[in-house]
Amino acid sequence: MVPMRDGVRLSADVIRPEAPGRYPVLVTRGPYGKDGYVDNPDHSVWFFPKHGYVVVSQDCRARFGSEGESYDPLFQEIQDGYDTVEWAARQPWSNGRVGTTGQSYLGATQYTLAASNPLPPHLQAMAPVSASSDFHQSWVYHTGGAMEWGWMVPYAIHKGKNTLARQGHDALLEKVNEYLLPADNFAQPLHDEWYRHLPLADWVDRLKETAPYFGEYLSNERDGPYWWKINLLHHLKGITVPMFHVSSWYDIFLEGALNAYRAIREEGGSELARRSQKLLVGPWAHIRPYTSPTSGDTGDIDFGDDARIELHDYLLRWFDYWLKDIDTGIMDDPPVNLFIMGENRWRYENEWPLARTHYTKYYFHAESPANSRQGSGTLSTSPPGDEPPDSYLYDPNDPVPTLGGNTLIIPQGVADQRPVEDRQDVLVYTSEPLERDLEITGPIKVHIFASTSAVDTDFTAKLVDVRPDGYAHNLQDGIIRARFRTSGSEPSMITPGQVYSFTIDLWATSHLVRSGHRLRVEVSSSNFPRFDRNPNTGAPLGQDRNLEAARQEIHHSAQYPSHIVLPIIPR
């Protein structure tokens, strides 16, 4: 039982090498029950002690074996992480050199610890895997302002089961289980009727015992001081240690590794930190890099034998270098290691984004309606001329369904997009077949000029690789909420009928589009249940009981040249 500064004690397993002595320590902290890890012989808690490390595996505050009256996810992890690192450094089996490791929430506890400013004095290296660094950008909300609805409520229920059990709410525990689809594993989405339930604010009352923090999430739709407390990017000057950032192209938290790596390289609080960041990005969805299978984990695709790695081997080289002073050669490798999908191989790079990138505009065109893949929408590097706008009706009562992508709990990864491309409320712009291979590696943005009949609405975009057999392979997608078009902190409504410029951030990818394939961009206004539906009313998030349809227009002309910017890598 590890004492925190306020007297609360957190339960931890300490797994030591068989030989006596003092060793470097790796701290891993999570909310899912540490006892479950000791039943997995492949888990980090067993891997690292075999290689001369003590592992401290801890239940977060108010979780499972730990004390604490209430669970405040993410925000409580700053001080508790700090205190745990310093406790570990003082123990008789510790040599005073401490690192952190872990994936998903166990990676998030590291990124929140990095916001403590200053860091714990005995912390010497970190290795966050598959986690957000900006929790307003890719945990509760998403870049562009929509809520990550597809996993927020089911995830709150999953974690809340332990909260209810601790409080003896057996009847309530049985009730919340009724919201979830039956499943044999952790990933249980909501029944469709509950994803669609209105108003969203009803979930605040329904989850008041299960997840009392949910109300704060809903009421803090704007990016601001509430989120900045745990936003690593707002605490860069306090980050003074080496970090190994790991993520994957279909991870819901991809932004975390990419943004944290780049920001610390440029603005970290010490020369050591700035020159000692590493980045590895694989082809998986969430929670896969440890002995990742080549198929079945990222949707209906096989990325080949090279996609299967043992991440522990990479991390061992990392910690041996920083905590044992062993020259493993890891710091001689270039700092960035990317998996190029489509080519299905790993490649080292010297920076992110790549310095040799050619940012290339592909413009939308259509002489007649571009609605659905049967429409006339095209995509090319030639700017548009005098072309009429495309229009569609966005009805939030009939949203475009989510098909794969960077999701969690709902199905993830690669999926054939043709079912959504057959809808009239999806505009489809497709290139001619490529004459040669085209590598897209780096950040992707879609710039559209659009008008709407509503005072607030959403626009979505998706980049697709269309194979010769017609399969529409999703690469990345994004969303922009109109009121957050210029600022995530200061929303402003729009005037119906007026044309505005919107930028939709599709995050990033690394993919080789083969010759004979075609590029495609989809534009619509919903991606549900991944993102919450915009009711088009302008009301505060979660208040609407009714949904209104909106008429949307996407302009592509010399005056309004809507386009996607692709990061093309010369080959």
Q: Classify burial at 193, counting beta carbons within 10 Å of its beta carbon; exposed 0-12, middle 13-18, buried 19 or more.
A: exposed
> Which residues carry out catalysis?
104, 251, 286
DSSP secondary structure, 42-75, as one string: TSHHHHTGGGT-EEEEEEPTTSTTS--S---TTT
SS3 94: strand
Helix 170-177 and helix 149-167: axis angle, to 10°? 160
Q: Classify burial at 483, counting beta carbons within 10 Å of its beta carbon; exposed 0-12, middle 13-18, buried 19 or more.
A: buried
Which residues touch 67 (CB under 8 Å, ≥6 apart)? Answer: 1, 8, 9, 10, 11, 61
User: Beta strands 336-340 and 345-349: pairing type?
Assistant: antiparallel
Q: Which spans in 95-219 are helix H? A: 105-113, 135-138, 149-167, 170-177, 192-195, 202-206, 214-219
Helix 105-113 and helix 77-90: axis angle, to 10°? 80
Burial 369-391 (b: 16+ CB within 10 A, else e): bbbbbebebbbbeeebeebebbb
Cα separation, 282 vs 247, in Å, equals 6
Which residues touch 355 (CB under 8 Å, ≥6 apart)? Answer: none
